[in-house]
Chains A and B, each alone.
Chain A
Amino acid sequence: MDMQGKLARLKATGLRQDVVLLLLFCVMVLAFSLANPRFFSIRAMANILQDFSPVVLMAIGQTFVIASRGIDLSVGSVLGLAGVSMALVIRAANEAGLDPWLAISLGLAVAVGVGVVAGLINGILITYCRLVPFVATLATMGAAAGMSLVLTGGTQIAGAPKEVILLGNATYLGALTVPVIAVFVIIVVSWAFLSRARFGRWTYAIGSNPFAARGAGIDVERHLIKLYLLSGVLAALAGAFVYFRLGSGSPLSGRGGELNAIAATVIGGVSLLGGTGKLTGVVIGALITTAVLSGLILIGVQPNWQQIVVAALIALAVGIQGLGARGGR
Chain B
Amino acid sequence: MENASVLYEVRGVGKRYGGVVALDNVDFTLRAGEVVGLVGDNGAGKSTLVKVLSGAHEPDSGEIYLDGQRRVWKSPHDALEAGVETLYQDSGIAPDLTVAANVFLGREIVRKGFLGKLGFLDEKAMRRDAHAELERVGIAVPASDRPVARLSGGQRQAVAIGRAVAWANKVIILDEPTNHLGARQAGEVLEIIRHARTKGFGVIFISHTLPHVLEVTDRIVVLRLGRVVADAPSSSFTPDSLLKAITGLGQS
- List chain A positions with a Cβ less than 8 A from chain B: 3-4, 6-7, 10, 192-193, 196-199, 201-202, 204-205, 207-209, 211-219, 275-276
Residue of B nearest to A67 (CB): B96
Contacts of B150 in A (CB 8 A): 6, 10
State the main secondary structure of chain A at its contact with B: helix
Residue of B nearest to A207 (CB): B96
Most B Cβ at <10 Å: residue of A4, A208, A212: A212
Beta-carbon contact of A212 and B93 below 8 Å: yes
Most A Cβ at <10 Å: residue of B101, B105, B108: B105
Contacts of A199 in B (CB 8 A): 119
| Given A196-B121, A197-B118, A218-B106, A209:B93 Cβ within 8 A | yes
A212 to B96, CA, bound (A): 12
Beta-carbon contact of B146 and A3 below 8 Å: yes
Contacts of A217 in B (CB 8 A): 76-77, 80-81, 106-107
Beta-carbon contact of B93 and A214 below 8 Å: no
* B87-108 interface with A by 8 A CB criterion: 87-88, 91-97, 101-102, 105-108
Contacts of A209 in B (CB 8 A): 91, 93-95
Contacts of A6 in B (CB 8 A): 146, 150
A218 to B102, CA, bound (A): 12
A208 to B91, CA, bound (A): 11
Beta-carbon contact of A197 and B121 below 8 Å: yes
Distance in Å: Cβ of B175 to nearest Cβ of chain A:
10
- Option from A3, A204, A211 in Cβ contact (under 8 Å) with B143: A3
A128 to B8, CA, bound (A): 32
Identify 12 new A-B residue pairs, CB closer than 8 A, beyond the known A197-B120, A199-B119, A217-B81. Answer: A7-B145, A7-B146, A193-B118, A193-B119, A201-B97, A201-B121, A202-B106, A207-B96, A213-B94, A213-B105, A215-B86, A215-B91
Contacts of A7 in B (CB 8 A): 143, 145-146
| Given A3-B143, A201-B97, A214:B76 Cβ within 8 A | yes
- Option from B91, B120, B146 in Cβ contact (under 8 Å) with A196: B120
A213 to B105, CA, bound (A): 7
Beta-carbon contact of A205 and B105 below 8 Å: yes
Closest 4 CB pairs of A and B: A216-B106, A275-B96, A211-B91, A198-B119
Beta-carbon contact of B97 and A204 below 8 Å: yes
| Given A7-B143, A201-B97, A201-B108, A212:B120 Cβ within 8 A | no
Range for the number of chain B residues in contact with chain A: 20 to 34
Q: Is B110 part of the binding interface, using a Cβ–Cβ cutoff of 8 Å?
A: yes
- Using a Cβ cutoff of 8 Å, how many contacts connect chains A and B? 84
State the main secondary structure of chain B at its contact with A: loop
Residue of A nearest to B86 (CB): A215
A193 to B120, CA, bound (A): 7
Distance in Å: Cβ of A155 to nearest Cβ of chain B:
44
Q: List 27 A-B contacts (CB under 8 A).
A: A3-B146, A4-B143, A6-B146, A6-B150, A7-B145, A193-B119, A197-B118, A197-B120, A198-B121, A199-B119, A201-B101, A208-B94, A208-B97, A209-B91, A209-B95, A211-B91, A212-B91, A213-B106, A215-B76, A215-B87, A215-B88, A215-B91, A217-B77, A217-B107, A218-B106, A275-B95, A276-B96
Distance in Å: Cβ of B27 to nearest Cβ of chain A:
26
A7 to B95, CA, bound (A): 16
A216 to B88, CA, bound (A): 10
A4 to B121, CA, bound (A): 23
- Option from A3, A198, A219 in Cβ contact (under 8 Å) with B110: A198
A201 to B97, CA, bound (A): 8
A214 to B57, CA, bound (A): 13
- Option from B77, B105, B108, B121 in Cβ contact (under 8 Å) with A212: B105
Contacts of A10 in B (CB 8 A): 146-147, 150
Contacts of B88 in A (CB 8 A): 211, 215
* B110-127 interface with A by 8 A CB criterion: 110, 118-121
A215 to B94, CA, bound (A): 11
Contacts of B91 in A (CB 8 A): 209, 211-212, 215
Beta-carbon contact of B146 and A208 below 8 Å: no
Distance in Å: Cβ of B235 to nearest Cβ of chain A:
33
A233 to B153, CA, bound (A): 41
Contacts of A276 in B (CB 8 A): 96
Distance in Å: Cβ of B28 to nearest Cβ of chain A:
21
Beta-carbon contact of B94 and A275 below 8 Å: yes
Contact with A along B129-161 (1 / 0, CB 8 A): 000000000000011011100100000000000
Contact with A along B64-87 (1 / 0, CB 8 A): 000000000000110011000011
